[in-house]
Structure 1
Amino acid sequence: MQLLTKKKLAMGAAAAVLMAVIAGGWAYAQTDSRLVSKIEKQFPNTKVSGVDCDKGLPGICEVTAGANVFYVTKDARYAFVGAVLDLNRKVDITDARLRELAAVNNAEQRINGQGGQVQQAAAPQAGPIRKINVTLPTANAIVHNAGAPIKLKVFTDLNCGYCRKLHEDLKSAKDIEVTEYPMAFLAPDSRDKARLALCAGDRAKAVDSIYLGGEVVAPDDCGGADAAVQANTEFGQQNGITGTPTIVRADGASQSGWMPIEQLRAWAKGAQA
């Protein structure tokens, strides 16, 4: 039985960017290996790629895991997932770091001849993006208000605060059927949360509990849940989804970010016009 609780809760330019990787590796080598071990013990499915305790955050270390960033205290007792803001400089430190990591990853891909654009986890963004033809099966999703006349598909990360806000708003919108595809974008445990939600007997109830920081109980044998989360995440990356929530209406038009429920309903009905 699995249990999730609150506690678990252009080449020259490219080469120049890669110097950041070398520098990052040196900083990582200077980090106490015991701290890395503690972090990886708490997040067994996460491979730590860097730790920096000299970011100017007193008592806090920045942890990078692939394209993700989170923070821990120096004793690895507490972890912080989400944006860190410098209120004096009015700067989103986390967003700036994520952009740096994305630039490094893109440079590596260009040097390796892979091309493409590595998508990063991002805060919800205003404005529409291109149409998305969602070909994922509903087996990969949590369906809310099944059978309601207005149809929306939503790509979420269960660590996303705006996703939670949208989720709460849509609870009272009984005229909107929501097919929610959980992805692993924002934090090391996003994958675990998504997998457990898809494993649960009552998926909608499980999502409620996860967003509220409660417990989720699921069977050990999750069938294809891991593959479903991976498919959702890859679909998002391949279709330019860089922010959560990303909402797709019946005609494929999409919108990234939260909007008030009446505005969302009017936008969703636009597919019927």
Structure 2
Amino acid sequence: MKKIISVAAFAVSALFVGTLHADENAVKEALAKAMPSVKLDSVKPSEIKGVFEVMVGANIFYVSEDGKYLLQGHLVDLASHIDLTEEKLSGARKAALDKVGEKNMIIFKPKIGKYMISVFTDIDCGYCRKLHSEIDQYLAEGITVRYLFYPRAGKGSDSYKKAVSVWCADDRNAALTSAKKGSTPKEKTCDNPVDQHMQLAEDFEARGTPLIVTEKGNLLPGYVPAKQLAEILKEEQAKK
């Protein structure tokens, strides 16, 4: 009797797994037809029955199991009040920044580091300049600041050319500080990560600069004073 039950349970399990893969394949096939140029990083069941979670870079959207309907937005657990989508997005952002690597960032480090942020910056943005004018205050709070470029005027603009010139300077940190004060950097070109930075900012759905990304991948749009930022980062570290 036990053997019969065991065999039946295995059969049901196998049927479920087979159906799951069939649904996953349906989603992949539908998306491949609708969006052939989009590279899917993962397709897996979401917390909602009949809906699949699709990861594309640092973005998440949801697709019905038959592949007919696509949903954009955040999935929230009403019982726990947890934004499930944002939790996964923060992890994706962190992974994306790790992939860029610190070798492709301009970094200002404190003597004793407690926290770390990545900042998408535009050399000609007023609040970006305000943030950098207070860089010593951020460093005094133990915050490592990693800069990536996001010239909002787009590729080929004056801000873009300044970003490239700063990156190609002999002393990038000094060149960035000078440019933030209003000096026009000596025009230079070289292999640079500016386009990669810009694409990542778009993937993060940046709406302006500065865009601060915390160590855990959470977004803080706009300028945040050093002491206030340190408190936010302290609270973030304290959370499990």
Tell me which interval the TM-score lies in, with the shorter structure as reference length. Answer: 0.5 to 0.7
- In 2, Cα distance between equivalents of 1:215 and 1:259: 26
Q: What runs of 5+ residues in structure 2 fail to find an aligned partner?
A: 1-85
Matched residue SS, 1:195: helix
- In 1, Cα distance between equivalents of 2:151 and 2:103: 17
Letter in 2 for 1:190: S
- In 2, Cα distance between equivalents of 1:205 and 1:160: 18
Does the 8 Å contact 1:155/1:246 carry over to 2?
yes
> Quick check: 1:166 aligned with 2:135?
no
Does the 8 Å contact 1:162/1:244 carry over to 2?
yes
Does the 8 Å contact 1:196/1:216 carry over to 2?
yes
Q: Given the two structures, how large is their TM-score scaled by the length of structure 2? A: 0.54
Does the 8 Å contact 2:150/2:209 carry over to 1?
no
- In 2, Cα distance between equivalents of 1:146 and 1:224: 28
Once the two structures are superposed, what CA deviation does each residue of 1:216-237 show, in whole Å capped at 9, x if it has no partner?
Answer: 336x5x4312xx1111101111
The 3 A distance-change label for structure 1 pair 146 and 199 is: farther
Of residues 159, 163, 166 in structure 2, which corresponds to 1:197? 166
- In 2, Cα distance between equivalents of 1:217 and 1:193: 8
> Quick check: 1:179 aligned with 2:143?
no
Does the 8 Å contact 1:152/1:176 carry over to 2?
yes
Q: Which has the higher helix share?
A: 2
Does the 8 Å contact 1:170/1:176 carry over to 2?
no
Matched residue SS, 1:217: coil
- In 2, Cα distance between equivalents of 1:146 and 1:259: 18
Q: What runs of 5+ residues in structure 1 fail to find an aligned partner?
A: 1-128
Does the 8 Å contact 2:122/2:152 carry over to 1?
yes
Of residues 215, 225, 228 in structure 2, which corresponds to 1:263? 228
Letter in 1 for 2:165: L
Does the 8 Å contact 1:160/1:186 carry over to 2?
no
Q: Over aligned residue pairs, what C-alpha RMSD do you find? A: 2.4
Matched residue SS, 2:100: coil
- In 2, Cα distance between equivalents of 1:269 and 1:167: 21
